[in-house]
Amino acid sequence: MSQLKVTGITRRFGGLVAVDALDLTVEKGAIHGIIGPNGAGKTTLFSMISGTLAVSGGRIEFEGRDVTGLPPHRTVSLGMVRTFQRSAVFHHFTVVENLLLGTHLLARPTVLGSLFGSHRRFTSADLEAAEEILCFIGLADYRDAAAETLPLGHQRSLGIGIALAAKPKLLMLDEPAAGMNRTESEALMQLIRDVRDRMGATVLLVEHDMQTVMGLCERITVLNFGRKLAEGRPAEIAADSAVIEAYLGLDEDAQAVAAHA
Amino acid sequence: MLEVRDLIVDYDKTEVVRGISFEIKKGEIVSLIGANGAGKTTTLRTLTGLKRARSGSVLLEGQAIQGLPAHRIAGLGLAHVPEGRGIFPFMTVPENLEMGGYLNRDKASFRRNLETVFERFPVLRRRQHQLAGSMSGGEQQMLAIGRALMGNPKLLVLDEPSLGLSPVMCQEIVRVLTELRAAGRTIILVEQNARMALRLADRAYVLDRGRIVLQGRGRDLLDNPNVRTAYLGLATAVSAPASPA
Amino acid sequence: MAVERLAARATARPAARRNVRHWPLLLAAVTAILAFAAPFVLPTYQTELIILFLMNLVLVVSYRLITTTGDWGLAHVVMMGAGGYSAALMAKGLDLPVWLTVPLAGFVAAAVAGLISVPLLRTRAFGYFIASFALGELLRLFWIRLDVPFGGIRGIINIPEGELFGHSLFETIPYYFFALFVAFVCVGIMYLLDRSRLGMTWKALYSDPALAECVGIDVTHYRRSAFMIGSGFAGVAGAMLAHRMGAIDPKNFDLITMLYLIIWVVVGGTQSFWGAMVGLLAMTFVFELTRPLLEWRPLIFGVVLIFFLIFVPGGIESLVGRLRGWIGLLKRDAS
Amino acid sequence: MDLATFVQTFANAVISSSIYALVAVGLALSFGVMKMANFAHGEFFMAGAYVVYVLYAIAGHPFILAVLCAVPIVALMGLAAERLIFRPTRDNLLAGFMATAGLSFILQVLAGRIWGVGLMKRVPTPIMGAVDFAGAHIGSQRLVILPVAILTLVALWLFLNRTRQGKALRAAAQKPEAAALQGIDLNRMSALAMTIAGASAGLAGALMAPVTPVTPYMGHSVILMAFVVVVLGGMASIQGAMIAAVILGFVITFCTTLFDGVIATMVGVGLMALVLVVRPQGLMGRETV
Amino acid sequence: EDTLDIGFNAPLSGPAAGWGLPGLTGINLLVDRINAEGGLDVGGKRYKLVVHQFDNEYTPSKALQGARQLVLEHNVKIILDVGGSTGDAQLPFLTEHKVFYAPEATADINPKRPYIISGADYFPRGEMMRMAYISQMYPQAKRYAVVSQQDATSLVGQAWEVGAAKAVGFDVVYDEFYAPDTTDFAPVVTAILATKPDIVSLSISWPDFIPLLMEQLYQQGFKGIVAANYIEPEQALQRVPADWLQQVKAIDSYPLFDDPWWGDPSAQHDFAAKWNARYGAGGPEDLKRPMNGIDWLYTPMLQAYLASVQKAGSVDPDKVLAAFRSLDTISTIEGPTAVTGEEMWGEKNMISPLVPNNEFRADCNCKRVQSLTRFETWFAAHKDAVIAEVRRRNQMWDQRQ
Ligand SMILES: Nc1ncnc2c1ncn2[C@@H]1O[C@H](COP(=O)(O)OP(=O)(O)OP(=O)(O)O)[C@@H](O)[C@H]1O
Ligand SMILES: Nc1ncnc2c1ncn2[C@@H]1O[C@H](COP(=O)(O)OP(=O)(O)OP(=O)(O)O)[C@@H](O)[C@H]1O
Ligand SMILES: CC(C)C[C@H](N)C(=O)O
Ligand SMILES: [Mg+2]
Ligand SMILES: [Mg+2]
């Protein structure tokens, strides 16, 4: 069953067409990768799906529901949560506070609630959930550290943790492995698999690190100039000549020839 | 020509460059490669004075330049083509080039340089009356490199010239860099596109989380299995499609 | 930048309980005793000064509440004016008693804030700063222009001071206790909000608006709620002012007054709940001490403002953090 | 409105537009170009007027000489503000803005203490009389402002677009880091911008001294309108500021004649609020760079 | 030694300082003279006069704060101020504490606030007398335009002035206010001249604005009559030629105290001489300046208060008030003065010296008193018409609550 269905989605910036009438279907429970050269429109695509960027055309359906143009806080409440390409955590807060902020949706604090009711403080259920995610992302040791002091790799995990706190049905990760070394990205791959297997969330992943993408994804879509260049299983993609030409790179010798032309 | 010793750079106490040393000899192309966030840009920014180092030294022809403001370092002959090109979007192509020759008050040599740049990048001559911001990415990259050449730099510092460029454009950049090397320019090249960088470089350094983990001749690194696994992704991906869970 | 660990308090942690500190309670008790004794031992004039201080306290704390979302505006004293005008009109025109006009004025100010937030919240940062100034000025120009019901340039005079439990609030001591009560309630409510999940959400907006949006926080909604609540309390302060002065006019709420408010906040700092209050206290002292210097006073305030912005950008509260750091260093050296 | 009144109002509007342009152009340069929002711009204007008051009205030197002195004196004040306030607060627009609000207090008090707050300072009209033009009467003194404003604006435009320093200034505004990499000294550029801003504010104040109330507080009404012009014009654009000055000059003048000054101000400020909301980048502003 | 404390709670800084600050000169002159004579003799007891000042910045809340400080800390018996919105703020407090309030202008008088002594300013009696004077001297002038800045006081002043103008038969063709922060008066004057007036009254426009308005009137070709509450010819002459000023008469109500009209010797010449010796031509180099209309403006009210204290033989406020209201004449720097005001303000708290009408004269480049008019006489004959207009504009004391 398809969980996310994007049809004919387009985004223009002035004269530039960043995403060009793109169709994309993501199956429920899949780990789906999106790759493509810099500027192919991957981040733009994410931004449109999550509602941070208006679409110039096309339609986005989530679990059968039209979500085109919904603002981000609405798409999040439907269960579509994204992370950012840059590392994004609430710098001024501690790690556990970051996770608690992620549970915002489960509470939606109101004025009266904050004064007299349940939003005065975090419930034990919230705390438990936060602690659970804390362990899940392996940051239990950093519980009360200020987020800004975490090493980059941990900040990224925290970013994913914040997203997980909102109990997503579809988790959209933008280059989560960027800046990670092999060990870290191996751990990340495990974490992402766990998210799918244990939390039951669908994962949509943008990543330049081929090892991560090829190792993790069941299906990969390749974008180029805002259009779909290829789609298929990792092995098919790795062998696709169009993909090699546009993204993975020309044959070494061919490039050498080009360099000396 | 340029020597970097034990450079440490941080942002708000997070060290991102953790004590690196390297050198560039006259007439060489030296590449720095490394993953996203490895500290390549930060290193370059420190060389050209956009960022202050916590400690360490940078010597240009024996003269210490660390801690000088960027405009002074530019005056010493370092030309930096920054990440994202940094062209002046609301100025025309000649105006942008004029800024590249800002420190060169000699009209005649300015004209000569302008002519050379136009000859090297004929596309810029064709775009003369256009605002730089409205040109395509590749053209903008040409402009940025051309602008850097306007000041007759001793050392050209290029940060990801292929960023956001289509393969065709990348090849164009490769052509230009090859030509520049042939003309005897000294260049530091930072690239995400490790394959391209290693191919062009006489020597290369591999940066991982702020440290230099490997160095050597470009060709040698290209064949290094560790490099192939870590930075050329493709090799392992093709050979081992589905890595075990 | 001093970072406040708010959730550390909002989350009931056993560790924190075991380690109960006594001095805050003690401080509160001493303050309470002083507050009750003050009007009986101090000369009337000093008591009047404290009344003024209490009104300003509500004003400054409510301004700080809005700034926790990252929105620094120039309309806050105009919102105070909205409260002042509505209290005046309700007391004069509708003969409403004080205990009604003051809270109602708060609601009216909040409603006005809700109205102008529609265009205002489309802007951010410097745009917000200038737009809030423009919209506030527009409101003030309405008061200036409309003789009915705002009394035009002349403002509203003979505002009943009202009475409470048979005491005329015209007298200094009853009004003092009234002001004390109102300030206590207002500051208390804002304190609770600051510590609540709502307060945390506001601060998250300041920390990273884009990320906040992506964890499902409706940024505009929460910016608006902070703006309306902050403005509401400013309105309460305005109502208190109107009843105390017996007359208000558009000049009470002009840019100069707003700049003084900003000075309090900048001097104190906005990171912690107490910073702005400390700033107000410090500047009130400076204000009274420099009374003999009369015509030089704005200059002194200008110098203080520049000094803090350049040398102590975090305000007095940031000094506390630095002091702790130094003390910590000393202790470590000593041991 | 009969024809004679219309013609007269039109003439008034032309003059008042040129005044707005002259006052706002320095602000547009420092704020729009170098991101220094100078709240004390109005007080710089006041300082220009006071120089004329001191040199011309009190000391009896020729008016032209007083105006020529006002320009460098206020330019120096701009330079000082850049050094002492904007440089330390460079990456915080708001802090610089608030700090210059403090500066405006300081300058007001100083002017008041040195020359008295009392009644308005008397600055005699250097060129008495009026010129009749197509049925409109315009005071000769005001008429001087028109060519000076046009000349100043043209000179500034030429400077920015034709000279090496002017282009460097634009470059520094568009991409500060890239500019530094070309050898452009950013400190020098912002000092230059504030010097020019000070000079033009001083010039405007000096020229206006004989036609507007000269008091330590005269900057207040100037700064509001100057910001309206700059924001309306799109914060990064000198041309935008000029167009906005003309729009505002006409709107305010006609509203004042038709209704009254308060309504005129309301319309002016309301126009700016509307523009901020509908087109936050201003009339001539560009999309984010 | 007993002291009698006097509060000067007026704008000493800020844009309105011009109305307050200079007033200290006249007050100091008067107080020093009395103290030099050994203090104020009240029923045989001598009081030393002490002046305490507070800068209210012409802001209501500050004014109330000042009143509280002056009364509660310094025990002042009378507070001098400009009046208007600052008066509204402090009067409930002052009334409660039975402290006298002395605003220059009379509009603060109201039966609910009995402890007021006001009226040194000719406002708004001068405004009415100018209308009377013009209609009598220049009967061909018919079309009348009036404008002043939009503030609390001018709303009242213009109401009485327009009432008088209608009562003497002028056609009111223009009757508006301009914003107090106006920097460009050209459009204001264009709007006025569009109505083709014979008389343009600048009413109680601030002294600062008068020359700027005149300059525009001159430049835009006005040739009728110009009138205003207070004109400084010296200032006007820096902007318009003397023959134009003569042509438009430039009529105002503030006299010069060195005007030969007063005769020699006279209290007025005496005051002018003493003031000039201390603050004017004879004063210290860095301070000296010409005397203006605010310098002496607070002294008549203080003189009235002191005279009432002496008559009451006590500083008890109620006795002083009773004495004040029963005084036949008080001698002030403006000349002998009666106490009136019931019909205009509902209460008899206004001192009412004779109102001068001055015109500009090119021969001396100065203004000269043309007539001294007794307001009460004229008002008795015209009050119904005038009051009707004031009522129509909701500016009677009982309407301004
Ligand atoms: N706000 C914007 N204004 C103008 N152009 C934009 C904007 N955002 C993105 N673009 C352009 O749209 C194109 C697609 O950008 P996008 O960020 O989606 O690429 P990407 O595939 O995520 O690249 P990368 O791999 O580098 O992250 C690029 O050419 C980019 O320059
Ligand atoms: N202005 C900044 N403030 C704080 N941290 C920064 C800043 N700029 C970069 N960093 C951090 O410093 C580290 C190194 O960044 P740098 O840009 O030097 O890497 P890079 O190797 O150039 O990466 P890329 O390939 O993405 O260009 C990263 O972790 C990044 O998040
Ligand atoms: C009403 C008064 C305070 C005005 C005074 N007559 C003046 O001209 O300044
Ligand atoms: Mg991207
Ligand atoms: Mg980089």
CA–centroid distance for B234 within its chain: 24
The last residue of a domain, from among C253, C269, C294: C253
Alpha carbon distance C203, A199 (integer Å)? 29
Alpha carbon distance D112, D215 (integer Å)? 8
Long-range contacts of E283-290 (CB under 8 A, 24+ apart): E289/D118, E290/E234
Q: Radius of gyration (Cα) for chain A, nearest Å?
A: 20
Host domain of residue C139? 44-253
Is there a single domain that holds both residue B130 and residue B187? Answer: no
What is the average per-residue pLDDT within B101-107?
84
Stretch 187-216 of chain C: residues touching chain A, C-beta under 8 Å = 189, 192-193, 195-201, 203-204, 206-208, 210-216
| Ligand 2 atom 31, closest CA | B37
Check CB contact under 8 Å for C141 and D112: no
Categorize the per-residue pLDDT at B127 as very low, low, confident or very high, splitting at 50, 70 and 90.
confident
How remote is the CA of residue B165 from the centroid of ligand 1, in Å? 12
H/E element, C296: none
Is there a single domain that holds both residue B54 and residue B120? Answer: no
Of the candidates C218, C285, C187, which has an alpha carbon nearest to the alpha carbon of residue C69? C218
Q: Is D184 on the interface with C (CB under 8 A)?
A: no
3-state SS assignment for residue C321: helix
Read off φ and ψ for residue E273, nearest 5 degrees: -65, -45
Low-confidence ranges of chain E (pLDDT < 70): 14-15, 286, 401
Alpha carbon distance D272, C119 (integer Å)? 12
Predicted model pTM: 0.85
**Protein residues whose CB sits closer than 6 Å to any atom of ligand 1:** A 13, 16, 18, 36, 38-44, 85
Using a CB-CB distance cutoff of 8 angstroms, which residues of chain C are in contact with residue A115? 189, 192-193, 196
For ligand 2, is residue B59 a contact (CB within 6 Å)?
no
CB C282 within 8 Å of CB C316: yes
B242: in domain: no
Is there a single domain that holds both residue C216 and residue C238? Answer: yes
C251: nearest CA in chain E?
E59
Q: DSSP assignment of C227-261, as one string?
A: HHHHHHHHHHHHHHHHHHHS-B-GGGGSHHHHHHH
Instruction: Kindly state the tokens that stand for C283.
Output: 């500047």
The last residue of a domain, from among C253, C286, C315: C253
Host domain of residue B214? 1-77+155-231
DSSP E83: -
Q: Which of B160-174, C147-161, D54-68 has the lowest mean pLDDT?
A: B160-174
For ligand 3, is residue E185 a contact (CB within 6 Å)?
no
3-state SS assignment for residue A22: strand
Instruction: Kindly state the tokens that stand for E234.
Output: 């010296």
| Ligand 2 atom 16, closest CA | B39
Is there a single domain that holds both residue C260 and residue C302? Answer: yes
Q: At what angle do helices C98-120 and C125-145 cross, to 10 degrees?
A: 130
Categorize the per-residue pLDDT at C21 as very low, low, confident or very high, splitting at 50, 70 and 90.
low
| Ligand 1 atom 8, closest CA | A44
Low-confidence ranges of chain D (pLDDT < 50): 287-289
CB E118 within 8 Å of CB E104: yes
Chains that touch D (3 or more CB pairs under 8 A): B, C, E
Instruction: Note the pLDDT tens digit of each residue in C314-324.
Output: 888 888 877 87
CB C101 within 8 Å of CB C235: no
Q: Radius of gyration (Cα) for chain C, nearest Å?
A: 21
For ligand 2, is residue B40 a contact (CB within 6 Å)?
yes
**What pLDDT score was predicted for residue B164?**
58
Stretch 94-133 of chain D: residues touching chain C, C-beta under 8 Å = 94-95, 97-99, 101-106, 108-110, 112-113, 117
How remote is the CA of residue E297 from the centroid of ligand 3, in Å? 9
C25: in domain: no
CB B194 within 8 Å of CB B232: yes
Is there a single domain that holds both residue C195 and residue C68? Answer: yes
C24: in domain: no
- Please name the amino acid found at residue A168: P
**What pLDDT score was predicted for residue E288?**
79
How remote is the CA of residue A35 from the centroid of ligand 5, in Å? 20
Categorize the per-residue pLDDT at A133 as very low, low, confident or very high, splitting at 50, 70 and 90.
confident
Instruction: Kindly state the tokens that stand for C36.
Output: 């009750």
C-alpha distances in Å from residue D16, one per residue of C178, D137, D221, D258? 51, 14, 14, 16
* Domain tally, chain B: 2
Residue C1 scores a pLDDT above 70: no
* d(CA E87, nearest CA chain C) in Å: 9
3-state SS assignment for residue E101: strand
Start-to-end CA span in chain D (Å): 45
Q: Could you give the residue ranges of the DSSP H alpha helices within B66-217?
A: 70-75, 93-100, 107-120, 122-126, 137-149, 167-182, 194-200
* Ligand lying nearest the CA atom of residue B36: 2
Q: Is the preceding peptide bond at E290 cis, omega within 30 degrees of 0?
A: no
H/E element, D231: helix D219-233
What is the average per-residue pLDDT within A246-258?
48
Check CB contact under 8 Å for D260 and E215: no
Alpha carbon distance C182, C164 (integer Å)? 13
Which ligand 2 atom is nearest residue B35's CA? 25
**What pLDDT score was predicted for residue A254?**
37
* Ligand lying nearest the CA atom of residue B192: 2
**What pLDDT score was predicted for residue E155?**
87
Is there a single domain that holds both residue B69 and residue B172? Answer: yes
Is there a single domain that holds both residue C197 and residue C236? Answer: yes
CA–centroid distance for B202 within its chain: 14
| Ligand 1 atom 31, closest CA | A39
D224: in domain: no
| Ligand 1 atom 4, closest CA | A13
D39: in domain: yes
Number of other residues whose CB lies within 10 A of the CB of residue C213: 21
**What pLDDT score was predicted for residue C3?**
31
Is there a single domain that holds both residue B8 and residue B73? Answer: yes
For each of the domains in chain A, give its residue range(s) and CATH number, in order of start. 1-79+168-261 (3.40.50.300), 89-167 (no CATH)
Check CB contact under 8 Å for D94 and C259: no
For ligand 2, is residue B34 a contact (CB within 6 Å)?
yes
D260: in domain: no
What is the average per-residue pLDDT within C55-81?
94
Of the candidates D84, D88, D139, which has an alpha carbon nearest to the alpha carbon of residue D107? D84
User: Between C and E, how many residue pairs show a Cβ–Cβ distance under 8 A?
Assistant: 79
* Domain tally, chain D: 1
Using a CB-CB distance cutoff of 8 angstroms, which residues of chain D are in contact with residue B88? 170-171, 174-175, 178-179
Sheet holding B14-24, edge to edge: B14-24, B2-11, B55-60, B63-64
D69: in domain: yes
D184: nearest CA in chain B?
B71
* Ligand lying nearest the CA atom of residue A37: 1
* Domain tally, chain C: 2
Check CB contact under 8 Å for D273 and C138: yes
CB A216 within 8 Å of CB B72: no
* d(CA A183, nearest CA chain C) in Å: 27
Read off φ and ψ for residue B191, nearest 5 degrees: -140, 140
Number of other residues whose CB lies within 10 A of the CB of residue D288: 6
**What pLDDT score was predicted for residue C13?**
40
Q: Do chains D and B touch (3 or more CB pairs under 8 A)?
A: yes
Is there a single domain that holds both residue C203 and residue C318? Answer: no
**What pLDDT score was predicted for residue B238?**
35
Of the candidates C281, C303, C305, which has an alpha carbon nearest to the alpha carbon of residue C293? C303
* d(CA A10, nearest CA chain B) in Å: 19
Q: Is A107 on the interface with C (CB under 8 A)?
A: yes
Categorize the per-residue pLDDT at B236 as very low, low, confident or very high, splitting at 50, 70 and 90.
very low
Q: Is C147 on the interface with D (CB under 8 A)?
A: no
Which ligand 3 atom is nearest residue E103's CA? 3
Host domain of residue D102? 3-116+139-216
For residue C37, give every residue at least 6 positions away whose Cβ sits within 8 Å of its Cβ, in sequence order, or none: none
Q: Is C129 on the interface with D (CB under 8 A)?
A: yes
* Domain of residue B188, CATH code: 3.40.50.300
How remote is the CA of residue E71 from the centroid of ligand 3, in Å? 26
The residue whose CB lies within 8 Å of the most ligand 3 atoms, and thus the one to mutate among E58, E80, E85, E104, is: E104
| Ligand 1 atom 25, closest CA | A38
Q: Is A119 on the interface with C (CB under 8 A)?
A: yes
Q: Could you give the residue ranges of the DSSP H alpha helices within E138-173?
A: 152-167
Is there a single domain that holds both residue C59 and residue C77? Answer: yes
**What pLDDT score was predicted for residue D92?**
81
3-state SS assignment for residue B32: strand
The residue whose CB lies within 8 Å of the most ligand 2 atoms, and thus the one to mutate among B13, B42, B163, is: B42
**What pLDDT score was predicted for residue B233?**
47
Check CB contact under 8 Å for A178 and B37: yes
* d(CA C221, nearest CA chain A) in Å: 10
B205: in domain: yes
Q: DSSP assignment of D131-196, as one string?
A: EEETTEEEEHHHHHHHHHHHHHHHHHHHHHHHSHHHHHHHHHHH-HHHHHHTT--HHHHHHHHHHH
- Please name the amino acid found at residue C136: G
Categorize the per-residue pLDDT at A107 as very low, low, confident or very high, splitting at 50, 70 and 90.
low
What is the average per-residue pLDDT within A98-127?
73
What is the average per-residue pLDDT within B52-65?
89
Is there a single domain that holds both residue B114 and residue B227? Answer: no
Please list the residues that pair with B159 across neighbouring strands: B190
Categorize the per-residue pLDDT at A248 as very low, low, confident or very high, splitting at 50, 70 and 90.
low
Instruction: Note the pLDDT tens digit of each residue in A175-184.
Output: 887 656 667 7
Of the candidates C273, C266, C223, which has an alpha carbon nearest to the alpha carbon of residue C62? C273
ipTM above 0.85, yes or no: no
Instruction: Kindly state the tokens that stand for E19.
Output: 């109305």
The last residue of a domain, from among B101, B136, B152: B152
B240: in domain: no
Is there a single domain that holds both residue C239 and residue C282? Answer: no
For ligand 3, is residue E148 a contact (CB within 6 Å)?
no
The last residue of a domain, from among C205, C228, C253: C253
Of the candidates E256, E244, E262, which has an alpha carbon nearest to the alpha carbon of residue E362? E244
A176: nearest CA in chain B?
B36
Alpha carbon distance C79, C77 (integer Å)? 5
Which ligand 2 atom is nearest residue B44's CA? 18
D12: in domain: yes
How remote is the CA of residue E366 from the centroid of ligand 3, in Å? 20
C-alpha distances in Å from residue A166, one per residue of A5, A103, A108, C267? 22, 5, 11, 38
CB B30 within 8 Å of CB B22: yes
Categorize the per-residue pLDDT at C49 as very low, low, confident or very high, splitting at 50, 70 and 90.
confident
Of C7, C197, C214, the CB nearest to A119: C197
| Chain E positions touching chain C (beta carbons under 8 Å) | 12-13, 53, 55, 58-61, 64-65, 68-69, 72-73, 84-85, 88-89, 92-93, 96, 150-152, 155, 180, 394, 400-401
